[in-house]
Structure 1
Amino acid sequence: MSASMGRLLTAMEQRLYGQKTNIRLMAAALLAGGHVLLEGVPGLGKTKMARTLAALTGGEYRRIQFTPDLMPSDITGGVIYHTKENEFQTVRGPVFANLVLADEINRSGPKTQAALLEAMEERQVTINGATHRLPEPFLVVATQNPLEYEGTYPLPEAQLDRFLFKLILDYPGEEQERQILRGHVPFATERDQAIVPELTLDEIRAAQAHAAEVVVEDSVIDYITAVIRRTRESKRVQLGASPRAGIAILMASKAWAALEGRNYVTPDDVKLVARPALRHRLLLTPQAELEGGSSDHIVQETLASVPVPR
């Protein structure tokens, strides 16, 4: 792991208590060039996690609050006519940033959610027929409340499939909650205390290039393939993992290995990233849901049933 990434992880762990694994997975997503969906009940620090990552990486940061009346053009931008200049001008929306926080993304309907699809997949936005490239690195961190909460819209499968990871934030342990209370700083005070970035955009790009060069042996490729295909064979799964899910596991495994200071991927890396990479991509049958099953259980059973390469 590079010294800059080490500083980033340390700084985030000092500000976010009880989220060590999720923090490392966020850093892995950054290295892999993927996007992250954070799910948890209100008040667990989802927005703070994204805001902290943005401040420590020093890139341009934009926050979009998703509401039922939010329009796609409020995200991507549009073309307006300036009477003074007597011409049309393109106004870029908040999606043109290095880190975009899509806060409470499931508060808006599918039409507005879909405004992010092109940006997340192709790193570009089309406005009035013209294509505009997004800055690099580009990372979308979306937060959502559990679906049983009032006023939420489930994300379509195509939208979910664009996220590299879905991370679940749960209540902290007792000691961790004490740390949160001891270290609490009002937001107004925190905002005035400028956070010094721990790495530059050039360092992020260099770290991403290093992660992309991590070696993956054929036996590990075969292991990932077997895991992906096994999810489609389960009778409790209505929609199994797609080839894009396999690519997500591959890229995430390489990024995790880079964070661990290795230039090769192990089956343990695959196991570690499989659950956050697959949990939002599997659609269970109604019967499995009635029986209390979850995609996490399916992933764990799948990993247990596939022989690990030696």
Structure 2
Amino acid sequence: MSDLTVPAATTPRTSPPSIATAGELRASGHTARGVHTEIRENLLTALREGRDPWPGLHGFGRTVVPQLERALIAGHDVVLLGERGQGKTRLLRSLVGLLDEWTPVIDGSDLGEHPFEPITTESRRRADELGDALPVAWRHRDERYAEKLATPDTSVADLIGDVDPMRVAEGRRLGDPETIHFGLVPRSHRGIVAINELPDLAERIQVAMLNVMEERDVQIRGYVLRLPLDVLVVASANPEDYTNRGRIITPLKDRFGAEIRTHYPHELDAEVAVIRQEADLVATVPDALVEIVARFTRGLRGSSSVDQRSGVSARFAIAAAETVAAAALHRATTQGEEHAVARVVDLEAALDVLRGKVELETGEEGREREILGHLLRTATAETARARLGGVDLALLVEAIEDGALVTTGEQVSARVFLDALPVLGESDLYDAVAERFGATNEGERASAVELALEGLYLARRISKDSGDGETVYG
């Protein structure tokens, strides 16, 4: 991840204003306001108008979001604490939407200073010399968000700045403030700076942040620059009791106005929404199978066999859905299917490639496949019961008890599977199952009926035999 990240735009970008000088800007009636005030006023406007300031976030509406909104209204810097894959970075990046779309800056300024409020020696000199002719440029809100992934090798120069030897070589005195090359935090003046995995910063580097967080000035190799930095500092961190890679030093933690705990989605619908939003699916994955993946992920988070300090990331569920879709596309390609649609049999593919993403408790190592398989079967049974409640499958059970066999597998096409289903006389049972799942083609129809068969097996009403890439219900 680069130090500077431009979040994806949620709305089309408009053209910047045509104002080109400080005089024109003053004549337009424009007033300068600090970034905390800007965010507060834009947030309150969105809430007043009933607009969602947090697009794409699911499961935080009654917990994390209200806490964050109150912190921003109070003008606090914020640190988010939570396990991996809880959406901390996404939440931080969504803050960009609370900035004005375009803001004026002194053209050529290193720190993006406001034309009415220059803070560096060079910008103040230019403002005095040029007056109303001071050139103005316009900066989009995406350019006012800087993101740094904290690593143990991050230096004070990266975050705060250092003396630039090239400027000294050009003839400037070593004590001249213009010899300083500013780091990420000063360059985020009038914007947002986000530090991911804050405990990974060496403690001496965290100390360098203390003045920035409280006095809003910077100290570089003996220089004390009274720069009234206007910046919102936000950070994310995993719980220290799990990572053990470092800690947030107490003085720095004290300078964050708000410490907010994130969490995994509490509701199944939110879990499904996250998967649907984030997964890049190369084939159709019916809603029922996405629900199975969501229930499976939630089951892992509640399992005593899984190390809950490490968490089970939302990325696990996303990767699982993408793997299931890939298995469906693989089958459709080799078997010449018109529609690539995932079925229950494709869920097994996820177990084989994802078991390394889950950390088990001590003593459970080596049982990944067994534990994940059990939880996947539980999730499938729960989904089948929820989706097929009220559908009488007795005729299908009777046909199988009378000797009918139904074969499926990772290389059995939907057409072959459907043709092998036992004839149930005049019954429209298969149509009823397909309708319950909203199936519109034979691939989706096969997926629905296969889930019904798996549900019967898990309810111990029929048997199943698997081997050599085939599964036979009988």
- Paired residue for 2:213? 120
Counterpart-to-counterpart distance in 1, 2:227 and 2:258: 24
Q: How many residues align?
A: 185
Counterpart-to-counterpart distance in 2, 1:69 and 1:3: 37
Q: TM-score, length-normalised on structure 2?
A: 0.36
Which amino acid is the alignment partner of residue 159 of structure 2? Answer: I
1:80 is displaced (CA, Å) by 1.1
- Paired residue for 1:245? none
Find the residue that maps to 2:84 and give its secondary structure.
coil
- Paired residue for 2:91? 49
2:275 aligned residue (156, 168, 181): 181
Residues 147-202 of structure 1: CA deviation (Å, up to 9, x unaligned):
1334521222211111111111111021111111222277xxxxxxxxxxxxxxxx
1:104 is displaced (CA, Å) by 0.2
Residues 58-89 of structure 1: CA deviation (Å, up to 9, x unaligned):
45111111111111221101111116623362
Highest CA radius of gyration, 1 or 2?
2
After superposition, residues 96-111 of structure 1 pair within 5 angstroms as 96=186, 97=188, 98-111=191-204
Q: Is the 8 Å Cα contact of residues 43 and 98 (structure 2) preserved in structure 1?
A: no
Counterpart-to-counterpart distance in 2, 1:86 and 1:2: 46
Q: Is the 8 Å Cα contact of residues 12 and 23 (structure 1) preserved in structure 2?
A: no
Counterpart-to-counterpart distance in 2, 1:34 and 1:99: 12
Is 1:145 matched with 2:145?
A: no
Is 1:62 matched with 2:146?
A: yes
Which amino acid is the alignment partner of residue 127 of structure 1? Answer: I
Structure 2 alignment gaps of length 5 or more: 1-39, 101-140, 281-474
Which amino acid is the alignment partner of residue 58 of structure 2? Answer: Y
- Paired residue for 1:75? 159
Which amino acid is the alignment partner of residue 11 of structure 1? Answer: D
Moved over 4 A (4+): 1-4
Q: Is the 8 Å Cα contact of residues 18 and 176 (structure 1) preserved in structure 2?
A: yes
Structure 1 residues 177, 12: closer, same or farther in 2, change over 3 A? farther
Is 1:161 matched with 2:202?
A: no
Q: Is the 8 Å Cα contact of residues 106 and 155 (structure 1) preserved in structure 2?
A: yes
Counterpart-to-counterpart distance in 2, 1:50 and 1:16: 11
Is 1:85 matched with 2:182?
A: no
Residues 247-294 of structure 1: CA deviation (Å, up to 9, x unaligned):
xxxxxxxxxxxxxxxxxxxxxxxxxxxxxxxxxxxxxxxxxxxxxxxx
Counterpart-to-counterpart distance in 1, 2:237 and 2:42: 32
Find the residue that maps to 2:242 and give its secondary structure.
coil
After superposition, residues 19-34 of structure 1 pair within 5 angstroms as 19-20=60-61, 21-34=63-76
Counterpart-to-counterpart distance in 2, 1:75 and 1:55: 24
Residues 228-251 of structure 1: CA deviation (Å, up to 9, x unaligned):
xxxxxxxxxxxxxxxxxxxxxxxx
- Paired residue for 1:40? 82
Counterpart-to-counterpart distance in 1, 2:83 and 2:146: 22
Q: Is the 8 Å Cα contact of residues 39 and 168 (structure 1) preserved in structure 2?
A: yes
- Paired residue for 1:17? 58
- Paired residue for 1:224? none
CA RMSD, 1 decimal: 2.4
Find the residue that maps to 2:164 and give its secondary structure.
strand
Counterpart-to-counterpart distance in 2, 1:78 and 1:185: 42
Q: Is the 8 Å Cα contact of residues 42 and 98 (structure 2) preserved in structure 1?
A: no
Find the residue that maps to 1:133 and give its secondary structure.
coil
Find the residue that maps to 1:28 and give its secondary structure.
helix
Structure 1 residues 3, 32: closer, same or farther in 2, change over 3 A? closer
Counterpart-to-counterpart distance in 2, 1:123 and 1:185: 41
